[in-house]
Amino acid sequence: MALMTGEQYIESIRKMKMQIYMFGEKVESSVDNPILRPSLNSVKATYDLAQIPEYEELMTATSSITGEKINRFTHIHQSADDLIKKVKMQRLLGQKTASCFQRCVGMDAFNAVYSTAYETDKAHGTKYFESFVEYLKYVQQNDLTVDGAMTDPKGDRSLSPGKQADPDLYLRVVERRADGVVVRGAKAHQTGICNSHEVLVMPTIAMSSEDKDYAISFSVPVDAEGVLMIIGRQSCDTRKLEGSGIDVGNSEFGGMEALVIFDDVFVPNDRIFLNGETEFAGMMVERFAGYHRQSYGGCKVGVGDVLIGAAALIADYNGAQKASHIKDKLIEMTHLNETLFSCGIACSAQGCKTESGNYIIDLLLANVCKQNVTRFPYEIARLAEDIAGGLMVTAPSEKDLRDPKIGSYIEKYLQGVKGVSVENRLKILRLIENITLGTAAVGYRTESMHGAGSPQAQRIMISRQGNINGKKQLAKAIAKIEDQDDKEGKSL
C-alpha cells in the first residue's frame, strides 16, 4: 500500500497508543477529541488530495527507491522540478485547509537526513545511509506521516549543550548498548506530532567534539515507550468545545503543537542515522532549516490566498469594495503574498544535486524566503484586520445569534449590504479572526516569525551565504581597482 486514503489514515492513528496530555489530563483518543480533531483533518487532506486525479501531479511522485507511486510528502527530491512541485503542493494545501497541514516537517527532515547520512558514511565508514534508505522505504510503502523533530528547549542559550545546569535540556544519549542507544530529553514546538506515526529526531545546533552525546539523529514510533506529548495552548482553542460552526472560524481544519518528552527511550541500531559524529550535526541542521524555510514560500502563501479572499469578501459584505483604499490594500496583500511565492519558487529552481543524489534548494534564497515570511504575513494580516473592521473581535457568539429573544437584535443591527445574511457576514469575520488571531494563527501569523528558526537565524545564514567578498571583487573589477592584496591573491 503505497498510498493511503484519508479514512485509512484516520484509522491508522486511532490504533496507536500515544501518551498525550492536555489541560492536565490524559487524552484517550486524539482522533475523537474536538480540540485536536481539526488538526488531524488537515493532515487527512494530504491523503485525500493525493487520491484526486486533478492534483496527482503535485500530490504524488515516483519513488527513487521502490519505483512505486508515493505521496510527495514521503519523496526524496530528484530534481529542481521536484522542489518546485513541493512548493506548489504546499500552496494548494494551504488554500484547501487555511491552516498548517503539518506533514512538511517530516518531508524536509527526510531530505536533510538522507544527504547528511550519505556524507557521514563517506567520512566515517558508518552505515547510516543504508539504514535510512531502508527506513524511508518502510515510510513510503506504508504512506506514513512522520514528525521532524529538531528544536530542543535549549535552557541557557549562552551555554553549549554539555554545559547546561540540566544536561537534559538538549536531547542526548544517556546509555549505549550493543543493540542501540537510550535517549533522554525533549523537543519543543512539535507540529503535528499527535497526528504522526513516527518521529524523526535531529540535532538542533552545530556541535563541538565535547557534545558527542548530543549529536544524535534517529526515528521511533510516536507511541514508543517513554515518548509523551504535552499539547500547547492556542488562542480561542476551547471554542472548539462549544459546538459552534461559526465562532471557531475554520470548523474543519486546524493545527497543533506539543512539547514532546523522551523519557529514556530505546532506539535500535537500525533506526540511528547519526551517533556522535559532531562535525555533521551542523550540516544536518543547516540543510533541514533550508528545506523548511523553502516550505514557507508555499504553505503560508496558500493560507494567505484564503485570507486575501476573506478580506475581499468582507469588503463586499460591508459595501466598501469600491473604495480606492480597499482596492489598494488588496493589491498590496496580493503583492506581498506573491513575493513570498516567488522566493519559494526561486530557491527551488536554483536547487542543485547533493553527493547523495537528492536535490537541495539554494540555501541563500531559501533563507531570504523565510526572512520575508517573518514580515509579510504580519502586514497581510494587519491589512485584513483593517479591511474587516472592529466587528471581527467584538461580534456576539453564535448562541446569541440563535437566541429567540436577542437574535433578532443581532439580525437587525449587524446587517451589512442587502442580500447578504448576518450569519454569512459573521462567518467570514470569524475566519479572518481565526487566521490572524485564533487557533490558525499558530500556522500563519506567529509561526511565520518563529517557525523554521528565528529571524536572526536566517540573517546569520544570509550573511554566510551572501558572498560579500565576491561582491567586493565585482565592484573592484568595474572600478578597475587593483591593490596590493589582489596582486598577492588575497581578499580584503
- Clarify whether 191 is annotated catalytic: yes
- Identify the H or E element spanning 226: none
C-alpha cell at 168: 537534559
Which one is catalytic: 46, 74, 292, 439?
292
d(CA 341, CA 363): 16
d(CA 92, CA 80): 19
Buried b (16+ CB within 10 A) or exposed e, 337-353: beebbebbbbbbeebee
Which one is catalytic: 198, 257, 385, 433?
257
- Answer whether 350's CB lies under 8 Å from 375's CB: no
Which one is catalytic: 47, 104, 189, 359?
104
Backbone angles phi, psi at 352, to 5 degrees: -140, 165
Strands 198-201 and 146-149: parallel
- Answer whether 362's CB lies under 8 Å from 350's CB: yes
CA-to-CA dists, residue 316 to 126, 310, 379, 416, angstroms? 62, 10, 21, 9
Measure the CA dihedral 133/137/138/144, to 10°: 110
Which one is catalytic: 296, 317, 359, 444?
296
Strand order in the sheet with 272-275: 146-149, 198-201, 216-221, 272-275
- Clarify whether 77 is annotated catalytic: no
- Clarify whether 325 is annotated catalytic: no
- Clarify whether 335 is annotated catalytic: no
The three-state secondary structure class of 156 is: coil
Measure the CA dihedral 42/48/54/59, to 10°: 70
Strands 20-22 and 69-71: unpaired
- Clarify whether 296 is annotated catalytic: yes
Which one is catalytic: 114, 135, 204, 299?
299
- Answer whether 284's CB lies under 8 Å from 215's CB: no
Which one is catalytic: 145, 191, 354, 374?
191
d(CA 107, CA 81): 16
- Clarify whether 409 is annotated catalytic: no
- Clarify whether 236 is annotated catalytic: no
Which one is catalytic: 277, 286, 385, 447?
447
- Answer whether 134's CB lies under 8 Å from 184's CB: no
C-alpha cell at 251: 470548523
- Clarify whether 352 is annotated catalytic: no
Which one is catalytic: 46, 100, 278, 347?
100
Indicate if the alpha-carbon torsion angle 32, 36, 38, 43 is positive or negative: negative
Just list the catalytic residues: 100, 104, 191, 257, 292, 296, 299, 447
